[in-house]
Structure 1
Amino acid sequence: MKEIVMLNRNTSNLKPIKMNKIILFMFIFSLLKVLLLYIFTIEKNIIIAFITTIPTISFIYILLFMCKPKNIKLIAFIVHAVVGIILFADLVYYQYYGFLPSITMLLFVGNVPTVWKSIFFVLRPIYFFMIIDIIPLGIYLKNRNIEHNRLKISRKNITISVVSILLIMFLSPILFIKGNTTYAYNNYGIFTYHIYDAYTQLTNKEKETLADEDLKNKVENMSNDENNKKTNKKYHGIAKGKNIILVQFESLQNFLMNREYNGKEITPNLNKLISKDSIYFNNFYQQVGPGNTSDAEFVMSTSLYPTNDLSVFNHYKENYYYSLQKILKKEGYSTYSFHGNDKEFWNRNEMYPNLGIDNFISLEDFEYDEKEDLINLGLNDMDFFDQTVDYLKEAKKPFYSTVISITSHHPYDMPEELIELELKKEHENTIFGNYIQSINYADKAFGNFIEKLKKEGLYEDSIIILYGDHAGLYPTRAENGKIMSEFLGYEYRFDEYMNIPLIVNLPGSDIKETNEIVGGEVDLMPTILNLAGIEDNKGKRFGRDLFNSKKGFVLNQYYVPLGSFIDDDKVFKMSKDGIFENSMAWDRKTKEPIDIEECREGYEKAISEFKESQLILENDLIDNIIEEQEKKDN
């Protein structure tokens, strides 16, 4: 007891430390944190971004000198902690997704517990530099006597000064930023980025708003869509009346097809599927947004584009959609979707009925042992595919079913007893190594799925369409970019990691074909309708039937800046600053640079299609478009 009293007495007798020294320490430490963030996230102009950040962060800490001595400890701690936490969150988010978080990402906080293992996998010890000082600072401030001399400025002058500086800080990005939020970040710094992002989101600055008459004209123009209205179409009705099984394969990239690792095929069962009774699209690309896997489902089902800032399944669940499932139901199909995760994940239980999916089989409906059968986000693929067939054999025929695998989800952790690929030493304990092992296991589970479909008499009466939902190895995560460039023998750019396979398996057709056309997930709906022999062009679709299109085109808007696109000849990557002239372009086959002016038309097309799709989502226009079409038909 005496020792404790003495300790307290000694602490209280310490000479008070001036608060201005502590504030100066916090200011310098925060500048170092900002510099660290820029080193990890900015490709060029690091010094410019750093210099432009100094006035903003100076203003934050100068305000502390104006606080009353009574409150200075708590306020200083809160301000410094918030700055550190924001920078930590920015850095971790960037390492996971490849870009900075928007204010709208707060809407996805509910999904964090489900993907925490994936987020944890990208963490590096150095990232904790952003928050390592917060707890020691709190303890120090609590236990030390602080001497704080508040700046002696009249209250009126303080108010005028603070308001003026705040107005300048807030208005300068709005007045001078000519590009997008990424441009704001690269040229004005992290805090200006967050201010500008909040401004654009809260004011809908980047969203198109139209008067009622203009909106009506837009609807009339969209009702004139002539896409997919051809006659004598190739493969039209080749699968008429058959069951349609669409397998959305988690994180499956195209580079894996027909490739060996350490003398062993990575995807032997997918390779076998391609080799007989199948059409293989090797230039097919993801088109997901913030909703990732759920966006792949949405794009495939509606032939509309996802948003740049919101999950469609969460934010536009009340809209009317004229979906693939609804069209098939009119033709007598029963509709199913299978997923080995909780039914609430990505709001599927609410969105599916609106898409016309009558039967949703989720984790709650499968039999499993919680300790042994769950891998990563849900039920292991082997049990998932096996039990899915049990449901399908009881389904009303013909049926349409989306089957969404899950084991090969980031961070691709696999139980030791399920691993069959032996990794090279340089790939051990890497995301790349884990990824190919999980894909190899998922491929084996898919092979068993095909065999059980045959055993139950479902295979011959069905067509199986398989595609990857999105990339598994984004180059910004860990050392993916470096490892993949070495593995492929050339630079791992966005047209490589967004390249996912599409396989159309037609049992008994004797077709073996590789289709080279460039396509994306938005093209699945019209392509499937053609195979099923269904003529229904109501509503609005941005996709094209890949069997009957002369040219391919894919716009990308999320993991690369909006305006980026891929066509049969070239790849265009829009500059992060939103300025066309600063962009990159290359020949898709030779990978040699080309003049970006050759891409202006494609860039404008990408922007136009995306904005039109967003207008439809934001104003719930599909039923209006159909109504206008019906008027014209009558």
Structure 2
Amino acid sequence: MKKIIYSRMSFFVIAVVLFWIKTYSFYKLEFSLGVKGTVQEFLLFFNPLSSGILILGLGLFTKGRRSGRAIIYLSTLLFLIQYANVVYYRFNSDFMTLATLTQTSNFGTSLGGSILDLMEPYDLLYIIDILFLLFLYSKVKGKWTTDRLKLRIPIAVLVTGILAFSLNLHLAEKDRPQLLKRTFDRNYLVKYLGTYNFIVYDAVVSLQNSSQRVMADSSAIVEVENYAKAKYAESNPEIFGVGQGKNIIKIHLESFQSFLIDFELNGQEVTPFLNSLVHDETQDFTYFDNFFHQTEQGKTADAELIMDTSLYGLSQGSAFVTKANNTFQALPAIIGQQQGYTSAVFHGDGKSFWNRDKIYKRLGIDQFYYDLYYNMNEDNVINYGLKDKPFFEESIPLLKELKQPFYAHMITLTNHHPFVLGEGEATLVPSQTGDSTVDGYFQTARYLDEALAKFFVDLKEAGLYDNSIIMIYGDHYGISKNHNRAMQEILGEEITVLKNSELQRVPFMIHIPGVEGQGTNHEYAGMIDVVPTLLHVLGIDAKDYLLFGTDMFSDHHRDFVPFRNGDFVTREYSYIKGDYYDNTTKEVIYEPSEEMLKMKDTVLQELSYSDKLLNGDLLRFYTPNEKWVPVNPSKYLYGKKQASNAEVNGKAEKEK
């Protein structure tokens, strides 16, 4: 009996059981996977088993005591992978993928504080099993022989693991047909198959996507082109061309959600200046209150991509990083070629963050003002980079230097997790939820609002306001669903699945010189719709270009808003995590209409077309019109002492 207890196989079984229990504990304590019903609960419990058997079973192929050490090493590796996902999920409500691992440049010193803020003291409890295995190994290793186990034993273990996975997949496919073919949501995959099986699946998908560019040819774009042309919405003749020749100032509000507009905390308006743009008719702004972000793992980088190309971000990772060598037909290049716009991005952080110094050249952006252009002393910098107030103040002289008409994209930073301010900079009476993320969010949002108010004054004094189209938008959520307890306390209502979806609204407001603002426009729209809208405002027909959005001012605007995970919202109903909801009653629609089912297929089709276009780099095969000149990234040079790229490229064109 003792021989059995002290054997290598017993040690292996104990390691698998501990791994199984811990992984299931992670699922229940750390992840919000939306488990529904007995089958899904069973699969959530069952799915770690196959991973544990297959991965820890590899340790049984080694000799003698090495088997125990190998099993401990593998257990530690599996823990590190799972714990990395836990920390990542605590902010992103999502799982890491191979594509996100290519974005390691974003996890430098500027992210260090954010990562530490996501770690909890109780996390030390998650290594108890490894400590126990080390203790057990020290007690039993002396009982083991130096011989290798007979080969049939570890092979039988691996076969058992494969059978367990096959059963897992069979039950998952019965509960969720075409799970691996039609699911964009990683929460579904982890819920049904487990974290480690998802990692294998992700690796396969990543390799398939990488091979698509090599296999693609010009015929692959025809289907995408037909879809984009069919979705096109003709412009509103009262709006078309009214902004031609005007400067464009696009203000990117970091992590800013629409619920902040008109929101009062302890009797104080959080964003009084933005509220005034929405409600003061003399400001001539149009505010879209049903505008949604459509970002995924790329967050801010996804927002930039969508807002400049009308393409969706990738379902995994960031196209700014993984597709940085693609061909794009982006807004800065289009308006630069057709109407002589100079384009520039302003951002108080390092130029390589999100691979911007590479991808901007592909988008045709003439100049990039990054940290070297700003006073980055310790009083001006917090968290991710330059504070918003000095950022806007120091950007005014740079804006004045730009050749007009210009397209200026200004990216704020202070309202970013973990939402911290310097001493004396908070001006709101703070909330007291006990959740530092939620309590800090309102303070940094107020700081951003104050920075914007001063920036508008400076724009007017610089003579830039009256001749500029001004767009203001939020790039993605700031408060994830992991903070629902504190948010429910703040908002005074339960945050259901549908409510969480509704909180994905971000503000979009636009001021066009000489055009009377519409006040609040209730059209349902998303980031994907901005490029065709702005092209039509400038008098450029969007029909020539492969865009997945439609003009928000058009009477024919397609007002459904897809999310990257396959969910979507319309004016009447929403499809969230497998269920349809009535937007008025907030109740589940148990018998969706044929139109609803068709809309779901349309959304999945649209997302797949965008993926094909990006993964196959299909725009290299497409010429929108005779005026288009493919962007040559080698012509763009970013640096403080450089001449503007608009001048460099202009001279090159003249020399031709």
Q: CA deviation at 1:545?
A: 0.9
The answer to whether the Cα contact below 8 Å between 1:273 and 1:505 also exists between their aligned partners in 2 is no
Distance 1:510 1:183 in 2: 46
The answer to whether the Cα contact below 8 Å between 2:396 and 2:459 also exists between their aligned partners in 1 is yes
Identity of aligned residues (%): 27
Of 294-303 and 168-177, the range deviating more from structure 2? 168-177
- Change beyond 3 A, Cα 1:543–1:98: same
Q: CA deviation at 1:529?
A: 1.7
- Change beyond 3 A, Cα 1:130–1:531: same
- Change beyond 3 A, Cα 1:167–1:322: same
- Change beyond 3 A, Cα 1:223–1:24: closer
Out of 84, 96, 118, the residue aligned to residue 79 of structure 2 is 84
Q: What SS class does the counterpart of residue 467 from structure 1 fall into?
A: strand
The answer to whether the Cα contact below 8 Å between 1:208 and 1:615 also exists between their aligned partners in 2 is no
Letter paired with 1:571: S
Q: CA deviation at 1:612?
A: 1.1
1:620 to 2:625 alignment = no
The answer to whether the Cα contact below 8 Å between 2:247 and 2:468 also exists between their aligned partners in 1 is yes
Out of 357, 363, 371, the residue aligned to residue 363 of structure 1 is 371
Letter paired with 2:370: S
Q: What SS class does the counterpart of residue 392 from structure 2 fall into?
A: helix
- Change beyond 3 A, Cα 1:490–1:317: closer
1:130 to 2:130 alignment = no
Equivalent pairs counted in the alignment come to 601
The answer to whether the Cα contact below 8 Å between 2:229 and 2:543 also exists between their aligned partners in 1 is no
Of 476-485 and 189-198, the range deviating more from structure 2? 476-485
The answer to whether the Cα contact below 8 Å between 1:338 and 1:401 also exists between their aligned partners in 2 is yes
- Counterparts of 1:434-473 in structure 2, within 5 Å, are 434-473=440-479
- Report the counterpart of residue 187 of structure 1 in structure 2: 192
Q: CA deviation at 1:148?
A: 1.6
Q: CA deviation at 1:435?
A: 0.5
1:335 to 2:327 alignment = no
- Gapped regions of structure 2 (runs ≥ 5): 181-185, 629-656
- Change beyond 3 A, Cα 1:150–1:165: farther
1:270 to 2:274 alignment = yes
- Change beyond 3 A, Cα 1:196–1:351: closer
- Report the counterpart of residue 102 of structure 1 in structure 2: 97
- Change beyond 3 A, Cα 1:234–1:494: farther
Distance 1:162 1:25 in 2: 14
- Report the counterpart of residue 611 of structure 1 in structure 2: 608
- Report the counterpart of residue 493 of structure 1 in structure 2: 499
1:352 to 2:360 alignment = yes
Q: CA deviation at 1:317?
A: 1.7
Of 476-485 and 434-443, the range deviating more from structure 2? 476-485
Q: CA deviation at 1:270?
A: 0.7
Of 190-199 and 410-419, the range deviating more from structure 2? 190-199
Letter paired with 1:444: E
Distance 1:216 1:584 in 2: 33
Distance 1:491 1:603 in 2: 18
Q: CA deviation at 1:61?
A: 4.4
Distance 2:274 2:123 in 1: 39
Distance 2:606 2:504 in 1: 19
Q: CA deviation at 1:431?
A: 1.6
Q: CA deviation at 1:147?
A: 2.4
- Report the counterpart of residue 43 of structure 1 in structure 2: 34
Distance 2:190 2:317 in 1: 20
The answer to whether the Cα contact below 8 Å between 2:573 and 2:580 also exists between their aligned partners in 1 is yes
Letter paired with 2:457: E
Of 275-284 and 34-43, the range deviating more from structure 2? 34-43
- Change beyond 3 A, Cα 1:215–1:21: closer
The answer to whether the Cα contact below 8 Å between 2:389 and 2:448 also exists between their aligned partners in 1 is yes
- Report the counterpart of residue 429 of structure 2 in structure 1: 422
- Report the counterpart of residue 23 of structure 2 in structure 1: 34
Of 529-538 and 196-205, the range deviating more from structure 2? 196-205
- Change beyond 3 A, Cα 1:628–1:387: closer
Q: What SS class does the counterpart of residue 357 from structure 1 fall into?
A: coil
Q: CA deviation at 1:457?
A: 1.1
The answer to whether the Cα contact below 8 Å between 1:325 and 1:400 also exists between their aligned partners in 2 is yes
Of 166-175 and 453-462, the range deviating more from structure 2? 166-175
Q: CA deviation at 1:136?
A: 7.3
- Report the counterpart of residue 251 of structure 1 in structure 2: 255
- Counterparts of 1:261-340 in structure 2, within 5 Å, are 261-274=265-278, 275=280, 276-330=283-337, 331-340=339-348
- Report the counterpart of residue 383 of structure 1 in structure 2: 390
Distance 1:110 1:294 in 2: 13
Q: CA deviation at 1:196?
A: 3.1
Q: What SS class does the counterpart of residue 146 from structure 1 fall into?
A: helix
Distance 1:61 1:216 in 2: 45
Q: CA deviation at 1:302?
A: 0.8
Q: What SS class does the counterpart of residue 393 from structure 1 fall into?
A: helix
Q: What SS class does the counterpart of residue 409 from structure 1 fall into?
A: coil
- Change beyond 3 A, Cα 1:201–1:333: closer
Q: CA deviation at 1:292?
A: 0.9
Q: What SS class does the counterpart of residue 289 from structure 2 fall into?
A: strand
Q: What SS class does the counterpart of residue 185 from structure 1 fall into?
A: helix
**CA offsets per residue over residues 372-419 of structure 1, 9 Å max, x none?**
211111100000011111111121111110011010011101123100
Q: What SS class does the counterpart of residue 309 from structure 1 fall into?
A: coil
- Change beyond 3 A, Cα 1:405–1:627: closer
Q: CA deviation at 1:528?
A: 1.2
Distance 1:193 1:412 in 2: 32
- Report the counterpart of residue 120 of structure 1 in structure 2: 116
Distance 2:343 2:330 in 1: 12
Distance 1:153 1:138 in 2: 21
The answer to whether the Cα contact below 8 Å between 1:252 and 1:500 also exists between their aligned partners in 2 is yes
Distance 1:311 1:431 in 2: 25
Distance 1:488 1:478 in 2: 8
The answer to whether the Cα contact below 8 Å between 2:342 and 2:404 also exists between their aligned partners in 1 is yes
- Change beyond 3 A, Cα 1:28–1:611: closer
Distance 1:476 1:463 in 2: 37
Q: CA deviation at 1:480?
A: 5.0
Q: CA deviation at 1:486?
A: 2.6
The TM-score normalised by the length of structure 2 is: 0.83
Of 22-31 and 442-451, the range deviating more from structure 2? 22-31
- Change beyond 3 A, Cα 1:212–1:506: closer
Letter paired with 1:592: E
Distance 1:506 1:270 in 2: 16
Q: CA deviation at 1:22?
A: 5.1
The answer to whether the Cα contact below 8 Å between 2:218 and 2:618 also exists between their aligned partners in 1 is no
Distance 2:570 2:214 in 1: 30
- Change beyond 3 A, Cα 1:263–1:485: closer
Distance 1:33 1:191 in 2: 13
The answer to whether the Cα contact below 8 Å between 1:96 and 1:122 also exists between their aligned partners in 2 is yes
Q: CA deviation at 1:261?
A: 1.1
- Change beyond 3 A, Cα 1:433–1:183: closer
- Gapped regions of structure 1 (runs ≥ 5): 1-15, 576-582
The answer to whether the Cα contact below 8 Å between 1:307 and 1:614 also exists between their aligned partners in 2 is yes
Distance 2:145 2:562 in 1: 55
